[in-house]
Amino acid sequence: MESLLNRYRNITVLLLVIFAQLVLLAVQVKNDRDVRLMRVWAVTAVTPVARAAEMLRSGSFALVRNYILLRDANDENRKLQEELGRLKLENNFLKNELNTADRAKALSVFQAHTPSKTLAANVIGTSAGPDSKLVFVDRGSVAGVERGMAVVTPDGIVGKIVAAYPTASEVLLITDPDFAAGVIGQTSQARGTLKGDGTPVCKVDYVTAEEKVKAGEWFYTSGDDRIFPRGFPVGVVQSVRRAQPFQEILLEPSGLQHGLDDVLILIEGVHQAIPENAVAGGPVYIAPPAPGSQPADEQANSQTNNSGTEADKLHARYKAIGQAEGHTFGEGVPGSKPPDFNIKLPTGGAAAPAGAGNQPPTAGQPPRQPASSPPAAAAPATPPVSTPAPTAKSNQAPAQSPPARGGSGEDAAKRSNSGTAPAAAAPSRQPPPPLNSPGTPTAPSAPLKPKSQPPDEL
Amino acid sequence: MTYSGGRVLLGSQGESQASRFRIWVMISIGLAAILFQVYVPLFFPILSFLEMPLLVVVYFAFMRRSQIVGLTVGALMGLAQDSLSKKPLGMFGISKTLVGYFAASVGVRLDVDHPVIRFLLAMAFYFFHYFFYWMMSRALLNQQVAFELQRTSVLALLNAMVGVALFHFLDRFRQAA
């Protein structure tokens, strides 16, 4: 019996196990009742592990999700940084463009109001010499440039032409040791010779110790050298040292303060009055007018201002249309009747076509001026409203001007035909009154033509 | 893993070497198989076709080459699976008990270390398991369930493929006798 059991042990165990499960199954099916105890055991055994697995899974998923999110945030941060850098570059570029436009506008305004005949030029290079202060401009003899002509900016004198090539010219800057020009103090009326020093400052020589020159005083060209017309700003005195027989005066040139991009070459210089008031030394920047601060007559002037862009002209035209129809832009509910933009406005007003705006401003109605323009000597007799208006000295008449210098229409037309001057260079520009009153330094009675051999030293 | 040459049938009883497993390894693997069956399809429904407890029962029956061990493992795994399902206790239990028993019987005669043998046997036992389960459902529970031969065949194939990889992995846990 025992051997029989051993022999069939496996099948016996199988049958027993199967039988037991069949009984279990039968009990459940017959009684329709679950054996809960076994399920409780199974669930109790499985659920803790399942919970741990779930925690592990959720933790892993959260870790991966956070990692991905963090990586996305990192990517986004990198993209934003790149965009920020690009926008900064773009901003700098636009600022430079705006600055260039402002400078060009200031130059054109200055060119329109100076009685001298000028030629706009761009600085295109510098000299290769380490010590010399020379630059090249993109106007040469083909454009009418000759050796000995003065080079200025609205801020002050820059230098003089020392060599004129067909397509370019070489300008000796006022900081070059070989440069010299006659200057006169604004308040002390001290005459001297401006000399370059090879440094950013210049010195004024041959001012006797008796002259009362103080730091901060402006110096202007005296016109004695027959290169620079009288009345162009030169710079402000930085320091004065009393010595015998001449004072040692260091002067900070104003024409080079804001860099050299655009300059004006004086084809025919005209003497001007030296302003009486102090000069603001700020950069040339044409700030927009404060809202509501623009007088009505200036508004009218600005409507005819042709130195603005097409957008400015369009803006002025729409403003005039709104005024003519009593319409205020920005008001009114949606759907209300808009103003008629096709009406004809009175000639000469803002409704003038864009082409009409190309007429240069008259001396009495100048375009908008730089907020802190340099010396008003460059301005006409009637200074612009927004300019800190230094008036001509009462005891000093404007420089003597030759009859053929800008007063006649023929000469004005000739001036406007220089081709390089902006449209704002006014043919109707009025020359300043003659500078022949008593007390006025001697001024040349003839137009300042460049000499064939300009003196390096006075 | 060692294959016994190109032979499929073992010559004698002594030629078959029973593998030993630590008890905690067996319990852990069984529990993991049950957990996989009840937990993984929650998040990856596509893996619900896998019958991990069956594959584990087949593997232990093969390796232990003991019918008693095979049927015991099958009974326990089946009952545990029943406990966590809606079915009456014993349906999976009886099926897996039989699978464990017969798998151990086959393991004594065949070289179950060979991957092809493993693949074929895994497929056959899957088919047998579900056929027996279907039969019991009809006979004992009086459930009119259709036997989907094609679907079951495909599932048997897939489970056999996974089973071969699983058996190869579980071989790492066995100890030489």
- Per residue in A365-379, pLDDT (tens digit) is 333 443 334 444 443
For chain B, the C-alpha Rg in angstroms (whole number) is 16
Beta bridge partners of A220: A184, A233
Scanning B52-71 for CB atoms below 8 A from A yields 67-68, 71
As a whole number, the mean pLDDT across chain A is: 70
Cβ–Cβ gap B90/A22 under 8 Å:
yes
For chain B, what are the domain ranges?
19-173
- Over the stretch A117-173, which tens digit does the pLDDT of each residue have? 888 888 887 765 556 678 888 888 888 899 899 999 888 899 999 888 888 888 999
Output the CA–CA distances (angstroms, integers) from residue B26 to A253, A419, B32, B166, in the order listed.
Answer: 97, 101, 10, 14
Whether B51 and B95 have beta carbons less than 8 Å apart is answered as no
pLDDT for res B165:
94
Nearest-CA neighbor of B87 among A28, A50, A47, A23?
A28
Residue A152 CA to residue A159 CA, distance in Å, equals 7
Q: Which of A14, A38, A42 sits opposite B101 (nearest CB)?
A: A14
Residue A109, Cβ density class (10 Å: 0-12 exposed, 13-18 middle, ≥19 buried): buried
A36 compared with B107, residue with greater pLDDT: B107
- Residue of chain B with shortest Cα separation from A58: B43
Q: What is the pLDDT of residue B118?
A: 92
Residues A19 and A126 in one domain: no
Q: For residue A28, which residues of chain B lie inside 8 Å, CB to CB?
A: 88-90
Q: Which residues of B touch A41 (CB under 8 A)?
A: 83
Nearest residue of B to residue A12 by CA position?
Answer: B68
Nearest residue on chain B to A22, alpha-carbon basis: B90
Q: Tell me how close the Cα of B46 comes to any Cα of chain A, in angstroms.
A: 18
Q: Is the ipTM of this complex over 0.90?
A: no
User: Nearest-CA distance from A9 to chain B in Å?
Assistant: 9
Please check whether residue A63 lies inside any domain of the structure. no
Count of CB atoms situated within 10 Å of the CB of A55: 10
Name the band, by pLDDT with cuts 50, 70 and 90, for residue A98. Answer: confident
Question: Has residue A382 got a pLDDT over 60?
Answer: no
Looking at the fold, whether A272 and A408 belong to one and the same domain comes out as yes
Cα dist from A331 to A311, A321, A327, A364, whole Å: 21, 15, 8, 35
Shortest CA distance from B101: residue in chain A: A14
Continuous segment of H or E residues that includes residue A159: strand A156-164
Query: What's chain B's average pLDDT?
Result: 85
Q: How far is CA A99 from each of CA A92, A107, A284, A367, rounded to the nearest angstrom?
A: 10, 12, 10, 18
Q: Which of A9, A16, A25 to mutate to test the interface with B (most CBs of B within 10 A)?
A: A25
Angle B33-B34-B39 from CA coordinates, rounded to 5° = 100
Cβ-based contacts of B94 with chain A (< 8 Å):
18, 21-22, 25
B25 or A405, which is more confident?
A: B25
Residue of B nearest to A20 (CA): B90
- Per-residue pLDDT tens digits for A397-442: 333 333 333 333 344 334 434 433 333 333 333 333 333 333 333 3
Whether A39 and B84 lie within 8 Å, measured CB to CB: yes
Same domain, residue pair A141 and A277:
yes
Percentage of chain B beyond pLDDT 70 is 89
Residues in chain A within 8 Å Cβ distance of B138: none
Question: CB of A14 within 8 Å of any CB in chain B?
Answer: yes
Q: Which domain holds residue A238?
A: 113-306+359-458
The first and second tokens of residue A336, run together, are 């209300």
Determine the pLDDT at residue B103: 92
Say which residue, B157 or B84, is predicted with more confidence: B157
Task: Please check whether residue B95 touches A, CB under 8 A.
Answer: no
Tokens at A369, concatenated: 């001026």
Whether residues A21 and B140 touch (CB distance < 8 A) is answered with no
The reply to whether omega before A245 is within 30° of 0 (cis) is yes
At B81-94, the pLDDT tens digits run 888 887 788 889 99
Number of domains in chain A: 2
Within a domain: A54: no
* Residue pairs between chains A and B whose CB atoms are closer than 8 Å: 79
The CA distance from B55 to the nearest CA of chain A, in Å, is 19
Interface mutation target, options A7, A10, A31, A44, chain B, most CBs of B under 10 Å: A10
pLDDT of residue A385: 36
- The verdict on A53 touching B (C-beta cutoff 8 Å) is yes
Mean pLDDT of B36-61: 87
**Percent of the residues in chain B that have a pLDDT greater than 90, as a whole number:** 40
Residue A135 is predicted with a pLDDT of: 85
| pLDDT value for A287 | 52
Radius of gyration of chain A (CA): 42
Sheet strands (E) in A165-261: 169-173, 180-185, 191-196, 202-205, 218-221, 233-241, 248-253
pLDDT (0 to 100) of residue A80: 93
Within-domain flag for A10: yes
Give the lowest-confidence range in A71-85, A149-163, A395-409, B114-128: A395-409
A24 CB within 8 Å of a chain B CB? yes
Looking at the domain assignment, is residue A106 inside a domain? no
The position carrying tokens 């009637």 is A382
Give the residue-averaged pLDDT of A174-186: 90
Residues 74-103 of A with CB under 8 A from B: none
pLDDT of residue A99: 80
- CB-based contact, A64 to chain B, within 8 Å: no
